[in-house]
């Protein structure tokens, strides 16, 4: 962030205290709060002052601007946030320090889940996103260092890839049965009273507790009406991931106390044991703990005790071998092929260049996540299928019998064969034949930017 942006926030209105909390993007030295944090709330009575520190707020503003996102219920965009803070920061700061800030309701947005159904997100206003981010940075400095080593979701310097690699390690060490626990509508079912009681054990600043409670109860605006929330942490808020980890840290500590091998990423929790019989015992006892202690519900339809090769974890699965290899789960492969079919649909009415550009962009992002795949034969098979889809797209664009014959001959196909193929029906059949492979060889597709999938994993 440049000097002009910092000044536009009104430097005179910031507090002079200094403090940093680590984030995934920039984990710096331990913050002031992390240094003095303890299990007793008495050491955390001035947390709102830490939230309002100049450096903490500058960092929060930069984070919100980087993520951008849609406006909330007030219609204010991220681009308008700096000007709004410049004009109103003294008032906002006063309400924060007095504990009287009242968040706006979140805007309800529904997006389809990959495996069917609807995920309901709540989009806070940009001002509330900014404040939540500032609070998050302070609390993360307090809580993250006390979280379990087996928790990987929404934490600085931790990732889904690390979780998958740890799961592979547990299986390789002989824990070949997985207790796959799925929490039913977790973000919608978090008990507010229980969460606030947990926070109060570490947070002594009642102003901060009051504001967090206000965010939990801010409500949801849907179809012009506000519905107040009595449970759950709305997905889409900056604070929600940390609050979910605080709720589920009690589960982590219980699993550690029992000596289990496990990996948790947000509300996806896999426990690894040595036999199906042991798995059934663990499933029963942990389900009881989650229901009775955490006041949450296990989705019995999606939870199971099974071989890791039969389950998916964060989009991955594992081979059923003595030394299991990481593979892409069948459902993930199915979703990938569905998206490729959409992009390479020969009836889309777009240019080849534009289609290939869109294809490359999607494949690069997909392989960036699935680069842990250790079954190259799957990638080779997908490569062949994608090339065939592209050849089919090009063949359709050549359109007429005369043009198809001309293009084939120009590209080295024997004239008689070219005319025979040009008048043959069946686009998909022709796209997989030797003739079109000769006219559009792999090297030609590579020159267009359609590289083998494995090469995108290294980019």
With residue 237 as reference, give the H or E element that holds it. none
Do 380 and 409 contact (CB within 8 A), yes or no?
A: no
Q: How are beta strands 106-112 and 118-123 bridged, if at all?
A: antiparallel
Q: What is the pLDDT of residues 141-177, one digit of tens each?
A: 899 999 999 999 999 999 999 999 999 999 999 999 9
Query: Does the pLDDT value for residue 100 go beyond 60?
Result: yes
Model confidence band, residue 324 (pLDDT cutoffs 50, 70, 90): very high
DSSP β-bridge partners for residue 221: 107, 226
pLDDT band per the 50, 70, 90 thresholds, residue 236: confident
Question: CA-CA distance, 93 to 101, in Å (whole number)?
Answer: 9
Range list of H helices, 401-441: 401-410, 415-422, 427-431, 434-439
The highest-confidence range among 4-8, 68-72, 379-383, by mean pLDDT, is 379-383
- How confident is the model at residue 9, as a pLDDT? 38
> Is the pLDDT at 112 greater than 80, yes or no?
no
Report the pLDDT averaged over residues 261-281. 96
User: What is the token pair recorded at 289?
Assistant: 């703990």
Cα separation of 365 and 379, whole Å? 15
Q: Of residues 286 and 225, which shows the higher confidence score?
A: 286
Identify which has the larger pLDDT, 8 or 423.
Answer: 423
């Amino acid at each position: 962030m440049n000097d002009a942006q910092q000044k536009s926030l009104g430097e005179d209105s910031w507090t002079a205290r200094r403090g940093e909390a680590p984030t995934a993007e920039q984990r710096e030295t331990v913050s002031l709060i992390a240094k003095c944090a303890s299990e007793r709330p008495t050491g955390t009575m001035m947390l709102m002052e830490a939230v309002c520190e100049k450096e903490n707020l500058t960092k929060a503003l930069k984070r919100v601007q980087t993520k951008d996102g849609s406006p909330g219920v007030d219609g204010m965009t991220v681009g308008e946030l700096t000007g709004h803070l410049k004009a109103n920061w003294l008032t906002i700061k006063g309400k924060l320090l007095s504990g009287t800030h009242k968040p706006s309701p979140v805007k309800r947005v529904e997006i389809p889940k990959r495996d069917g159904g609807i995920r309901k997100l709540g989009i806070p206003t940009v001002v509330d996103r900014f404040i939540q981010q500032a609070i998050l940075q302070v609390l993360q400095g307090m809580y993250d260092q006390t979280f379990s080593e087996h928790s990987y979701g929404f934490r600085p310097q931790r990732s889904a890839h690390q979780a998958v690699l740890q799961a592979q390690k547990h299986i390789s060490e002989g824990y070949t049965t997985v207790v796959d626990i799925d929490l039913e509508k977790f973000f919608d079912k978090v008990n507010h009273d229980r969460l606030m009681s947990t926070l109060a054990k570490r947070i002594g600043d009642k102003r901060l507790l009051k504001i967090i409670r206000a965010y939990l109860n801010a409500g949801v605006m849907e179809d012009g009406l506000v519905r107040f929330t009595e449970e759950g942490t709305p997905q889409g808020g900056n604070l929600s991931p940390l609050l979910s980890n605080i709720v589920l840290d009690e589960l982590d500590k219980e699993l550690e106390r029992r000596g289990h091998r496990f990996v948790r990423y947000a509300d996806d929790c896999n426990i690894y044991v040595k036999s199906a019989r042991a798995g059934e015992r663990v499933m029963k006892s942990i389900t009881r703990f989650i229901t009775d202690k955490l006041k949450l519900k296990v989705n019995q339809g999606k939870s199971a005790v099974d071989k890791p090769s039969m389950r998916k974890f964060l989009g991955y699965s594992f081979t059923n071998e003595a030394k299991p290899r990481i593979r892409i789960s069948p459902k993930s492969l199915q979703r990938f092929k569905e998206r490729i079919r959409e992009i390479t649909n020969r009836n889309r009415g777009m240019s080849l260049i534009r289609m290939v550009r869109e294809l490359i962009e999607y494949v690069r992002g997909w392989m960036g996540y699935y680069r842990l795949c250790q079954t190259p034969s799957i990638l080779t098979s997908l490569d062949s299928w994608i090339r065939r889809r592209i050849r089919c797209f090009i063949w359709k664009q050549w359109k007429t019998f005369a043009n198809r014959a001309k293009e084939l001959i120009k590209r080295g196909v024997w004239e008689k064969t070219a005319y025979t193929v040009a008048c043959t029906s069946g686009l998909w059949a022709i796209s997989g034949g030797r003739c079109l492979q000769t006219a559009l060889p792999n090297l030609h597709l590579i020159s267009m930017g359609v590289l083998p999938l494995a090469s995108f994993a290294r980019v």
